[in-house]
Amino acid sequence: MLAASRVSGQPVVDLSDIYAPEILERAQDAINVFDFRETAKHVFQPGHYTRMMMGADNGETVMANREGFSKFQFRMPRLINTQNIDSSVELFGETYPVPIFIAPCGGQKAFHEEGEVAVARAARSRGVGQFLSNQASTAIEEVSAARGVPVLFQLYPNLEWATTEAVIRRAERAGSRVMVVTVDHPASNREAIQRFRRDSNAECQVCHSEEAGYFRVPPMYEGLVRNPARRTFLDWDYIDRIRDTTSMHLMLKGIVTGGDAELAIEHGIEGIIVSNHGGRAENSLRGTIESLPEVVAAVNGRIPVLIDSGFRRGTDIFKALALGADAIAIGRPYLWGLGTFGQEGVETVLDILTREFLVVMRQAGTVNLGQIDRRFIV
């Protein structure tokens, strides 16, 4: 029953119950991706949920990523035939049915026993592109086999150049044609997870003690010397070294300014992902959707521009494409789906976002991605 109150003598319906997310018993019951988030709260171990959801400092940039979308409104035309829609996008010669990619997220077996393999099967069933983190809990060869084609690879460079080079060579041998280097994470202050104090928290010790053996070296680093130093050493010279080392298409993830976008092109970078690490790295209080226009202007169509951080709705995707992005990538939503219902959960998240995006395409009278541009945005 709807709660009601009165303002100036008129009844006002409280819609909070109608729009509140639900706890799901089946993936197919989800109305939107927020239902998976609500279910994840009750399924995940508290430490794992906190690690996935936390941001830098007090998490203001996590919120800014969502709030940024509300700063752009739509201008919708009418009476356009949209019976036949083509939502496909091309990236480096590969065509995908929708402009939605799986962003790289490490350690996915913390959320589901099949981890990255379940995600790869979901990506294969829906035809979407999958970026695999070099912090993955499953080997790249196994994930690519589950995906059916080599995955796109994400690299965190290591201070030990021999280690970085060895990881790049392994990705090449696995058949990856695209590598994205994450550049937005030289340091971070993540207070939320510190409160769990893994070394003394009994709940965490079940998995993270030496006896449990959970905290293993990621497969991409097996047999390699890994320097634990943060990526404070990373600079354009190091990017040049990577560029000269591989024939893979090289992208940078974490570019948020037009100046860095220009420099990226000067250094031979072939694609950019506008990202602030989902608000987990720096507390800039600037959503990626707000950073996108200046990056797009600087690139001026010369290389592909993708964007991640905060995407939860089909309207979010349309706004990003209208502002000049070629595609978007999702992170937390597919992890909510993975951790609650495995492969089926990831597939359902992708289906919901695809359905919502196609709804907006029809509302805007656009029958292909090339028709989505700035005229739809105020």
| Residues forming the active site | 277
List Cα–Cα distances, 149 to 1, 184, 198, in angstroms.
50, 28, 37
What does the DSSP 8-state code read for residue 271? Answer: E
Q: CB neighbours of 338 closer than 8 A, spacing ≥ 6? A: 108, 111, 112, 115, 118, 119, 345, 346
Integer Cα distance of 73 and 269 in angstroms = 32
List Cα–Cα distances, 242 to 165, 259, 311, in angstroms.
8, 21, 30
Contact 251, 271 (CB under 8 A): yes
Q: What share of the chain is helix, strand, coil (3-state, %, to 5)?
A: 45, 15, 40
- Residue 74: count of CB within 10 angstroms of its CB: 14
DSSP H helices, 306-331, are 314-322
Written as six digits, the tokens of 27 are 């993936």
213, burial (CB in 10 Å: exposed 0-12, middle 13-18, buried 19+): exposed
Integer Cα distance of 31 and 20 in angstroms = 11
Cα 298 off chain centre by = 23
Helix (H) or strand (E) holding 253: strand 249-253
